[in-house]
Each structure stands twice: as C-alpha cells, then as structure tokens.
Amino acid sequence: MKKTKVLEQVENQFETFQILNEQGEVVNEAAMPDLTDEQLQELMKRMVYTRIWDQRAISLNRQGRLGFYAPVAGQEASMLGSQYALDKDDWILPGYRDIPQIVWHGLPLYQAFLYSRGHFHGGQIPEGVNVLMPQIIIGAQIIQAAGVAYGLKAKGKQNVCITYTGDGGASQGDFYEGLNFAGAYRSPAIFVVQNNRFAISVPVEKQSAAKTIAQKAVAAGIHGVQVDGMDVLAVYAATKEARERGLEGNGPTLIETLTYRYGPHTMAGDDPTRYRSSELDDQWEQKDPLVRFRKFLENKGIWNEEAENKVIEQAKEDIKAAIKKADETPKQKVTDLIGFMFEELPHNLREQMEEYTAKESK
C-alpha cells in the first residue's frame, strides 16, 4: 500500500499543461507566451500550410508520385509549436513522421518529397540547416539526440537538441538509455513524446502501466511535463521553457504532448478503423488544433477567412512547384548509391562501381 501511495503522489504531479481550451479560450493567462500578433499569425499560417501539405502528400502518395509517407493531420500543434520555440542553430533529430519540423527548420520542401521517394538528394542537408534525416528505427533518434546534446555542451554552444518519438517509441530501450545519459551529463536535450494514443494499432494503455509518459522523467532525474498537444501555445511555452532550462545548465526535459493523428499510421496499408472507434475519432476532432487556434486568433481580431485562404493558395502553389522540382531532379543511379557509401571504396565495391559505370555509359 505504501508503494501505491508513493506512485500515486508521483503520477499526480503530472497534470496536463494547457493554455487554450477547446473553444479557443485562454484558461491559463499566467502561462501565456510573449508572442506578438505577427508571431501568432505566423504560427497559424504554418499549421494551415502543413494541413494542406499533408492532404496533398496523401493524394500524391495514392497517385504513386510519393513513396513512404506518414500523415500528420492532428499533430500540427505538437510539431510546429515545439519547432517554433527553437533557435535556427538548434538541432532537430526527427522520427519518420516529423517532416514538417525539419522543413520549417530549413530543409527545402522538394527535398522532403525526394526523401519520401528514397532519392539520395533528399538526405543531402543544405549547409546551415541543423537537422538529421528522419530515423526509421523506432526510438533510435533518442539516444542519438543525447549524444548531439552532449556535444553541444562540450563545445560550449548556446544551443539545444530536440528529438521526437511517439508513445510506442517510449517503450524502446534506446528511449530510457537516451534519457538516462542526457540526465547524467545535464545535457541540453529536449525529448518530445507525441502521444497520439496508438503505436500503429497498439493503444497507449497497453504500452505502459504508467499513468503518463511524462513521469518516466523521474527515473532519469530530469524534468518532465505533460502538455495538451492540441494547444499550440501550450506546446510552444513548454518547449521554450525546456530550451531555457537546457541552456542554463539545468539539464534535459521530457515533454509528453497529448495529441492525435487523424489519418492512418502511414500510407503503407494501415487501416485505423480496425483499431479506433468512430466515437474516439469524433472526440478528438473536437480538439482540432487548427480550429482551436483559429477561434483564439479570430477573437483577437487578427485572423479571418481571407487570411486563411491566402495561406491555402500559397501552400498549393509551393507544393506544386516543389513536386515539379522533385520530378525534374535527375534519377539516382546505382553508382550514386555506391559512391556515397565510403570516402574510399573497398575492393568489392570498386568492382561493382566499375561494373555499373560500364552499364550506365551504354
């Protein structure tokens, strides 16, 4: 009984942090971030733009014009609110769903499309864009982020490293190792677990007996917070605070964002109707991050239908131009892939390079 009471005391510390409720009303005035009207509008623009991009990417995938794609609708506040709180020189280590964060951090959109197609140029990060390519191995980016953050601290950089995974990723060994390492060395890392309630088809209740994922920070001796992931202002504020904590030498932060993906896990044949009820979908649609933030901005008199339509049209034009540029990119060759593997090719690959160079020259 004593252990149960202690556990309850720990879990009760992690109440969900929220600033805007589902009606777009401010319920936590003291926590409101210091953002100008222009910055608030920019956040909304990015969320609307990303929702349109997501819809178009799904369509392109179905047409066979994109390869692997993981839908993001519903998670815009979690993704973009956190990225917006970063400095340009901070590092992002994404999972495979986290393409919006790295595009808004500087990766050209057409390269994101090439990445989806498996083209090598999609992974050639431009100079000055501090991102790594999305990690396919579940949770592997967590331990990598611990290393990057440690490197930033060792070099005396005033920057942080942020990484993302889902609720399923929080069950991986790398997750615990990464948190523990970063905590032990007080590294400026931010670990974001986007709890969209289903790791593919496995509900979060079957992932862990813990009441929250945020409380897993306790074992690593780091700060943890659970955030309403459909509230872009709450996500922004929590990330900004985590960044400041890291730069002040107070160690890493684990942020659990409570969010939801409206579409399938990926476009590779997943059918969410087999494991999610329509009632649950309806419940989370009422929490839509775009609807909530739109109401807030409209009440402030700084957003309207005309402004939103401009963003939608701009997104469509940009996406059309980006996919055209991706289409015009020279197709990759086998020799390209071989050539990028090593600085100096070993004997067996030199033979293959010669063989394929001869074939490609014909």
Among 176, 185, 262, 275, the one annotated catalytic: 275
DSSP annotation of 126: P
Q: Is 265 a catalytic residue?
A: yes
Among 46, 97, 105, 261, the one annotated catalytic: 261
Residue-wise burial string across 229-246, b where 16 or more C-beta atoms lie within 10 A, e elsewhere: bbbbbbbbbbbbbbbebb
Dihedrals phi, psi of 254, to nearest 5 degrees: -105, 120
Q: Which helix (H) or strand (E) holds 193?
A: strand 189-195
Q: Is 280 exposed, middle or buried (0-12, 13-18, 19+ CB in 10 A)?
A: middle
Quote the CA–CA distance of 263 and 90 in Å, as a whole number. 30
Q: Is 350 a catalytic residue?
A: no
Among 265, 276, 292, 294, the one annotated catalytic: 265
Provide the β-strand partners of residue 166: 194
Residue in the structure block whose two tokens are 């409209």: 298
Quote the CA–CA distance of 140 and 134 in Å, as a whole number. 10
C-alpha distance from residue 183 to each of 151, 178, 204, 225 (Å): 14, 8, 25, 15
**Size of the chain, expressed as the number of residues it contains:** 362
Residues with catalytic roles: 261, 265, 275
